[in-house]
């Protein structure tokens, strides 16, 4: 029997229940990876469970209840009892982070909080580990998927804020009470946490100025198109040492709607996505993007933190799989043929393709004197079949040169 690793769960809403499910589904894999078998030692909700009992029975506490009270007290008591804590609670960390991080240091335990910012985007880990001791100039983020979805919808359909919000609610991208999302408060809490890590200085939520997107009109988005700009709710945390700031050196942390020039790394981030760009002289910039927080995504970030707390760093475990490496895969293809310009060419090429089960998606044919160029995009097909058709085509009498092809990666992979 392997040793167990007991996880106490505080909160059983969307994230909590998704976490319990994911932990259950991944138990075997986690045991293979870490050598320890994770086990849910108890669940605390408003109506059931006893915090003291759960604490005593756990190696690690997952806090996904949200809010400041009583989450703060529970997290502090867990850290002081020598238990690791994983939390998704941005409100708690942006208000009481220093107190909690100090408690974790004092008691030699881990306090992990990847799930508090950015959905599946692992920006906390990148700031704390990849860029540990790097000098960071600026962190720019789309850290609220609800508002990014609403702005994308307004840009796409031309509809007003209120209808785009209703659509977001219908699709589950906005809460019944969307206030903290649309007014920028949620993004402000996340930017406070990112600024703290990026600049190694205490940042409290109260120091972050924020504006929301409630005032944005379809007109604004139309003018944005005219000026060639994209409109996003942007969080910025940056060092300020500019002459216009009268030489004062410090940081600025703020959230507001902003137009982005088309080449900005965040300009193409559309829909309910999150993305963060980190700028530092040593690395130029890193951008990380992914879906914003839904229950399963947040649960996955929580689980990543739990597993990190279970294992010593940077061991690459022995492989547990012996998967065959397959070489005959299926692809869509672009096919480029230089041929004599004579009747029946397209028919013969199509027949050769058809004989091997290859079907044509689109064709462009161009005459070039007595020669023609036939360029096709073909539907996905096992490569072996395509290559057989290609051999047949290469032997056709009207071919002027060797056929050329390039694979096409399609929107639907169909694996």
Annotated binding site: 10-17, 90, 175
71 or 310: whose CB is closer to a copy of itself?
Answer: 310
192-to-50, 202, 209, 246, 381 alpha-carbon distances in Å: 32, 9, 10, 24, 50
Q: How many CA atoms lie within 13 A of 77 on its CB side?
A: 15
The answer to whether the CB of 159 falls within 8 A of the CB of 151 is no
49 or 304: whose CB is closer to a copy of itself?
Answer: 304
CA-CA distance, 285 to 59, in Å (whole number)?
37
Binding residues for NADPH: 90
Minimum CB distance to a copy of itself, residue 88 (Å): 14
CA-CA distance, 264 to 285, in Å (whole number)?
11
CA-CA distance, 103 to 91, in Å (whole number)?
18
Minimum CB distance to a copy of itself, residue 150 (Å): 15
53 or 98: whose CB is closer to a copy of itself?
Answer: 98
The phi, psi pair for 402, rounded to 5°, reads -60, 135
80 or 135: whose CB is closer to a copy of itself?
Answer: 135
The encoded tokens of residue 53 equal 């009992």
- Closest listed residue to residue 89, CA positions, set 26, 10, 30: 10
Say how many C-beta atoms besides its own lie within 10 A of residue 405's C-beta.
16
Q: Which residues are catalytic?
A: 190
- Closest listed residue to residue 217, CA positions, set 282, 151, 277: 151
Minimum CB distance to a copy of itself, residue 392 (Å): 19
Burial class (CB in 10 A: 0-12, 13-18, 19+), 218: middle
Binding residues for L-homoserine: 175
CA-CA distance, 90 to 116, in Å (whole number)?
5
Binding residues for NADP(+): 10-17
312 or 343: whose CB is closer to a copy of itself?
Answer: 312
């Amino acid at each position: 029997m392997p040793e167990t690793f007991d996880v106490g769960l505080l909160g059983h809403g969307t994230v909590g229940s998704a976490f319990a499910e994911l932990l259950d589904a991944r138990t075997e894999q986690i045991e293979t990876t870490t050598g320890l078998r994770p086990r849910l030692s108890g669940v605390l909700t408003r109506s059931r469970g006893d915090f003291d009992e759960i604490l005593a029975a756990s190696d690690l506490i997952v806090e996904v209840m949200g809010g400041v009270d009583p989450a703060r007290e529970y997290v502090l008591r867990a850290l002081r009892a020598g238990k690791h804590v994983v939390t998704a609670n941005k409100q708690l960390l942006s208000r009481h982070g220093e107190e909690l991080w100090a408690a974790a240091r004092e008691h030699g335990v881990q306090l992990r909080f990847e799930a508090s910012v950015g959905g599946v985007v692992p920006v906390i880990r990148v700031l704390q580990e990849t860029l540990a001791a790097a000098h960071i100039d600026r962190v720019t983020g789309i850290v609220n998927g609800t508002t990014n979805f609403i702005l994308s919808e307004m840009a796409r359909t031309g509809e007003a804020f209120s209808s785009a919000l209703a659509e977001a609610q219908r699709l589950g991208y906005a809460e019944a009470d969307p206030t903290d999302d649309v007014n920028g408060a949620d993004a402000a809490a996340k930017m406070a946490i990112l600024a703290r890590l990026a600049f190694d200085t205490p940042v409290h939520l109260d120091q972050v100025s924020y504006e929301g997107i409630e005032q944005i009109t379809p007109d604004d988005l139309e003018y944005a198109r005219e000026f060639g700009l994209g409109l996003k709710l942007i969080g910025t945390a940056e060092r300020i040492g500019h002459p216009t700031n009268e030489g004062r050196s410090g940081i600025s942390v703020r959230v507001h709607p902003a137009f982005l020039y088309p080449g900005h790394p965040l300009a193409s981030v559309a829909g309910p996505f999150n993305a963060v760009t980190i700028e530092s002289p040593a690395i130029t910039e890193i951008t990380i993007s992914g879906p914003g927080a839904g229950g399963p995504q947040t649960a996955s970030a929580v689980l990543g933190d739990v597993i990190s707390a279970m294992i010593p760093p940077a061991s690459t475990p022995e492989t547990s799989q012996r998967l065959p490496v397959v070489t005959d895969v299926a692809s869509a293809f672009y096919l480029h043929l230089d041929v004599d310009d004579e009747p029946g060419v397209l028919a013969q090429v199509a027949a050769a393709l058809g004989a091997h089960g290859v079907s044509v998606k689109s064709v462009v044919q161009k005459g070039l004197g007595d020669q023609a160029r036939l360029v096709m995009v073909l539907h996905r097909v096992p490569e072996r079949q395509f290559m057989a058709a290609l051999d047949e085509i290469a032997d056709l009498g009207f071919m002027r040169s060797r056929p050329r092809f390039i694979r096409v990666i399609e929107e639907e992979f169909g694996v």
